[in-house]
Amino acid sequence: MKTDNDTKRKENFRPIVGIDLGTTNSAVAYIRHGKPKIISSPSGEELIPSVVLIDTSGEVIVGKDAVAALVAMPSRTIAAIKRKMGSSDFIDIAEQKLLPHEISSLILKELKSYLDNILGEGEIEAVITVPAYFTDEQRRATKKAGELAGFIVERIINEPTAAALAFGFEHLNEDNHILVYDLGGGTFDVSVVEMMGGILEVKASTGNNYLGGEDFDWKLVDLFAQNMIDKHKIDPRNDLRGRALLKEEAEKTKILLSTRESIKVSLPIVTVKGDQPIGLEMTVYREEFIKLIDEMLLETMQSVQTVLKDSNLSRDDIDEILLVGGSTHIPRVTELIEDFFQKEPRMDIDPEEAVVLGAAVQAGIKSGVLAKDGLIVTDVAPYSMGIAVLMGWHGFAARSGGFHAIIDKNTTVPVTRSEIFSTCSDDQNAVSIEIFQGENEWSKKNHALGKFLLAGIPPNQAGEEKIKVTFRYNINGILEVSAECVSTGENMTVTVQDALERDSEEDYLDSFNRVQDLLKKAAESTDDEDDEWEGFQMMMNEMLEEMEDEDEELSLEELVEEVTALRENAKGMMKTARGKKRRLLRQVDSMLSKATLKSNIEELQTVINKATDILIDLESEEI
């Protein structure tokens, strides 16, 4: 029999999920039957590409269906937006201007739609992961993106911490030191974590927000481009579509080189020179690829040494090494780790799923669903945080001078620290508290978080009036700073996350309205659609001209004409299609597009047959 309290608890229940908002892929997970589980998209995908397309009818498309448009419609598509998080610069996409966190909110809204299908409409709380080395602004931007998507975001967790949680959840009875090596699509983090009696304590973290698989892709793009420059005296990177095509091929090549020693790259057309199509033909060897990226990989190992030093541990103290992130599939990563630690890293959990599964575990801890497991997590401050002071004085500078840390990097959070400073001039009646985060001794070389003025200080000689500055930093990365005049008790407190340099209510509403207007935009055909389609047809025609074998050219010509007709048919059907039908049409279009890029007769024929069957079923409304 249910009690009133049971009923009330159910009515007040708010599901909490974990989200990995990644540079390359994103995912959402929750605790089901006591275990973290990834929630699949309606088409069965657990990881969706972090790619956003605003098509010519104004519809927002996220994920796999948007990936194909990176080449076909590069001006309407954007990827790797995570690298721009925290920036106030607008991004041009589909003749609109959006802030990075607004674009990220579209990815998160796609994830939320999967939850709504399962849980129904209602409040959903999200624990969202960020790189350990994300700045305060980047963390704020992530929180805003989640809120714009309709989530309640009360907790941000560092990605390596989440990955350690996923591992620790399966090894609650083990006591050991774990090094988490997280090399993803756009960022690199490394953390040392101690597991003891179900308590997971982060000892130290470091990393680079601009080092990851994206950088490896662009190294290959440069290699491809140089090959074309040498052979054809033209740089394909100056062509927006050509650049996108090389980037797509670079990512494929990178992935294949993890399991093969060499890859033959064959693109019949990349760009055009003097009305003549220019293609790419070359073989890329794994050894050649490693030479391109080895400096960056060696940089990650320098970070490994730094984090060991910061945690006061040696390599022999590390019991387990966890590899996290898709880029750890590169064999050279394992080789470097094994050479350094003299032991094999672990991949018990899929490197690309570890972060989202750990986020789900954190969500389960927060909601109380996993309370019986007794897992407790502590994290550390990723940067030192402090104020600007006069070098050599315990006073305040009118301008940014020296940097005095009040909370040191890798301090366990939550934490509260206070220090006493003094005025630096006679009859000084106010002090400016300038807040920074970073490790440089000069404040101007660190990252500014904001400033505020404490007034009402009584006139006195320099150094006589004391000012107490207190920093409170919580588990979510929210910093609260207060300053108090000791002699009068006059004080002022600000929360950096909510007050300093935060968007005004008007700015927040502007963001909200931009996203909502985008999502509600009526489907209208535009001339751009025809331009994009004609551009694709031109590419196909030019590709045929590059074929050397006359018999093969005729055979390919017939197949490509059939592909073009099928795509035009799908295009016409998309104008009126909605929901599942429209998604299937986009999948057909993407499938046909990818097949033509390979110029493989057998593959083209197989895809044509499959696409034809689907279109017939759609036209007869059997789907």
Distance CA 6, CA 38 (A): 28
- The one-letter amino acid code at 485 reads C
Can you read off the two tokens belonging to residue 159? Answer: 């990605």
- The one-letter amino acid code at 247 reads K
182 catalytic, yes or no?
A: yes
| DSSP states of 327-383 | GGGSHHHHHHHHHHHSS--B-SS-TTTHHHHHHHHHHHHHHTTTGGGT-EEEEE-SS
Write down the catalytic residue from 136, 182, 248, 379: 182
Spatial strand order of the sheet with 447-455 comes to: 402-407, 385-389, 430-437, 447-455
Enumerate the β-bridge partners of residue 467: 421, 485
Write down the catalytic residue from 65, 110, 147, 159: 159
Spatial strand order of the sheet with 77-79 comes to: 60-62, 51-54, 77-79
Q: What H or E segment, with its residue span, contains residue 345?
A: none
N- to C-terminal Cα separation, the chain: 45
Q: What H or E segment, with its residue span, contains residue 14?
A: none
User: What DSSP state is assigned to residue 45?
Assistant: -
Distance CA 152, CA 143 (A): 9
Q: How crowded is residue 34: how many other Cβ atoms within 10 Å of its Cβ?
A: 11
Q: Let me know: does 126 contact 152? Beta carbons within 8 Å.
A: yes
Closest among 53, 67, 80, 71 to 243, alpha carbons compared: 71
Can you read off the two tokens belonging to residue 192? Answer: 């040392």
Write down the catalytic residue from 55, 64, 65, 82: 82
Can you read off the two tokens belonging to residue 169? Answer: 């959840």
- Please tell me the chain's helix, strand, coil percentages from 3-state DSSP, rounded to the nearest 5: 45, 25, 30
Burial bucket for residue 17 (CB in 10 Å: 0-12, 13-18, 19+): buried
**Dihedral pair phi/psi, residue 289, rounded to 5°:** -65, -45
Distance CA 18, CA 13 (A): 16
Closest among 598, 594, 541 to 275, alpha carbons compared: 541
Distance CA 146, CA 154 (A): 10
239 catalytic, yes or no?
A: no
DSSP H helices in 209-284:
213-232, 240-256
Q: Which residue has the tokens 């108090």?
A: 484
What residues contact 15, with CB distance under 8 A and at least 6 apart? 30, 115, 119, 124, 125, 367
Distance CA 177, CA 193 (A): 6
User: What DSSP state is assigned to residue 99?
Assistant: -
- The one-letter amino acid code at 374 reads G
Q: Let me know: does 308 contact 319? Beta carbons within 8 Å.
A: no
Q: Is the peptide bond before 236 cis (omega within 30 degrees of 0)?
A: no
Distance CA 143, CA 141 (A): 5
Distance CA 121, CA 128 (A): 20
Distance CA 37, CA 246 (A): 35
214 catalytic, yes or no?
A: no
Distance CA 301, CA 521 (A): 48
Point out the residues that are catalytic: 20, 82, 159, 182
